[in-house]
Chains A and B, each alone.
Chain A
Amino acid sequence: MTDSIWVMGDRTLEAVLKRHTSISVEPFHQGIEGHPVVIIEPSLGPPSQKRHAVEYLANHYPGTMVLSASTTILLAKQQSWVGNRLKLWGFDPWLVAIDAKRLTIVGPDALKPAPWDHFYGWEWDRIEDSIGGVFARVIAPLVNEAMAYRALGLSDRDIDRAIRLGLNHPQGPFEWANLFGVSNIGLVLEAMRQALGESYFPHPEIMRCMAKEGVDWNA
């Protein structure tokens, strides 16, 4: 049976991952057959759905290495759901989505994070298991700030232009939001609010978008 990498949910990640591995990358679906060397679980929540996904993998693919997004739910928490039934590693899927040169990873101390044996063309940095990770922890509040200006009547285009020209950021806040999804930005902020304090409360513009898309942290 051929080795493959299975990706749950996100087709954007699938395309990027294919550029960094010689192993077959397949979208995950129930009943998929084969031998996954790594399963990528990039969802950010809500926690009930994340738990369902991780427990499903533990029940159906015990012992498999799983690279699971840990920017909204600590890897330690996810590990507590499944015990030793999965080899869990945490990562920030947004860095993969933009095909950054360096990825962040959370997991057991080792010279090299095991999932990365299957990928090339990336450098990785081990970071502490913390809500927001590094990249998402900055980008989500940045988008949150920008939402307040949209609410004041400024156009997304002008705000993006100002941030790109004034700060030399590679993308404006609404370009980030379009790339990662406003509701996902909201999930990161909600996780940060719970872990780090009320000041990370998502802007009402984000909450409206989450409501419209049926995304509820407490679901």
Chain B
Amino acid sequence: MTSSSRHVLVIGAGTMGRGIAQVALRHGSTVHLVDPNEAQRVSAYNAIEKRLNRPSSSDLCHPDWQPRLTMGADWDDFRPSWVIEAVPETMDLKGPLFRRLDEEFGPEIWLASNTSSIAVTEVQGVAKNFPERVGGLHFFNPVPRMALVEVIAGMATGPGYAAAAMSLVREWGKDPVIAPDRPGFLVNRVARPYYLEALRMMDDGVVSLETCDEIFEGAGFPMGPFRLMDLVGIDVNFAVTESVFTQTFYDARYRPHRLQQQKIRLGQLGRKSGRGFYRYD
């Protein structure tokens, strides 16, 4: 199947879902973007329109993207070759959704979760009919700019999933890597020391957060750990750490740090709230 004939159902029109839809449209796929919230759909459409109608010189823009995009509160009679779920990170939402997808779509339809922390095997556990076509496709934020996509096979994922997912991701101009279905997959797991050791060092009085950031930026990192946590969101970063910690049955390596928890309690979540480890007002 070529990219131009791909029909992709993207569920969730938040930051990740609209980013995935934008990338798919840019590379010729037909997209149906689902979100129960109309305001979210309108916001997503405006964001996609803004970006695809004003491409940078490096964009491979398909000017015909508009007829290939439909949106709705449900997928109705849309028949995809791929379903990519990008709803919030909770099994309260993902569980019922995948149960329904598994009941409504035949085994030839790939079902991918853009999970960043919930295990793919847990998601496919609710797809009782055809769990072998369920896998993970972990895009990174912002989706249009970040090249990497983690392709994750759960314990029950069939052998064809990885090849199909790699093909899709490559057609969309992305760079896939196979990641195991372990807590944090690959990137979020290996990244934990960057944040946690920085927090522990600051808490131990080894170094100030400003100096810590400057040292890493001076070593070629685009952002020091504290500046990066502020950008990502201290609450988001904390949630990923907490998820890895819980899923590893409380391995001390991933113990979340109370400084982050305190910041969250104060509403100091980073750039998005005007204050995190730094002030942005």
Contacts and interface: CB of A to CB of B under 8 A. Distances in A.
Interface stretch (A16-24, A29-37, A59-67, A99-107): A99-107
Residue among B180, B189, B218, B253 having the largest count of chain A Cβ atoms under 10 Å:
B218
Interface string A96-124: 00101110100000000000000000010
A95 B217 CA distance: 12
B130 to A, nearest CB: 26
Interface in B156-210: 175, 177-180, 182, 186-187, 189-194, 197-198, 201, 204-207
Interface in A158-181: 158-159, 161-163, 165-171, 173
B190 A149 contact: yes
A145 B218 contact: no
Q: On chain B, which size bracket covers the interface?
A: 35 or more
Contacts of A162: 148, 150, 177, 179, 186-187, 190
Given A98-B220, A102-B218, A125-B215, A134 B207 contact: yes
A80 interface: no
Interface stretch (A6-14, A43-51, A135-143, A209-217): A135-143
Nearest to A192: B197
Residue among A101, A128, A134 having the largest count of chain B Cβ atoms under 10 Å:
A134
B73 interface: no
A135 B194 CA distance: 10
B10 interface: no
Interface residues of A, number: 42
A168 B192 CA distance: 14
A127 B210 CA distance: 12
Contact of B191 (A101, A167, A199, A200): A167
Contacts of B211: 125, 127, 134
B204 to A, nearest CB: 7
Contact of B186 (A125, A142, A149, A197): A149
A4 interface: no
B177 A95 contact: no
B92 interface: no
A163 B187 contact: yes
Contacts of B280: none
B270 to A, nearest CB: 17
B252 interface: yes
A159 B251 CA distance: 22
B274 to A, nearest CB: 24
A170 B221 contact: yes
A168 B147 CA distance: 11
B221 A158 contact: no
A93 B207 CA distance: 18
Contacts of A15: none
A95 to B, nearest CB: 6
A142 B197 CA distance: 10
B252 A197 contact: yes
A146 interface: yes
A135 B216 contact: yes
A146 B190 contact: yes
A65 to B, nearest CB: 23
A168 B252 CA distance: 26
A43 B193 CA distance: 24
Interface string B62-98: 0000000000000000000000000000000000000
B175 A165 contact: yes
Contacts of A79: none
Nearest to A145: B190
Nearest to B210: A125
A140 B181 CA distance: 24
Given A137-B197, A166-B187, A127 B207 contact: yes
17 contacts: A95-B219, A128-B206, A135-B215, A138-B193, A138-B194, A142-B190, A145-B189, A145-B193, A149-B190, A159-B190, A163-B187, A165-B147, A166-B146, A166-B191, A167-B187, A167-B194, A199-B251
Given A95-B219, A162-B148, 12 more contacts: A102-B218, A104-B207, A127-B206, A130-B206, A132-B197, A133-B206, A138-B197, A152-B180, A162-B190, A163-B187, A199-B251, A200-B253
Closest 5 CB pairs of A and B: A170-B220, A101-B218, A102-B218, A166-B187, A141-B193
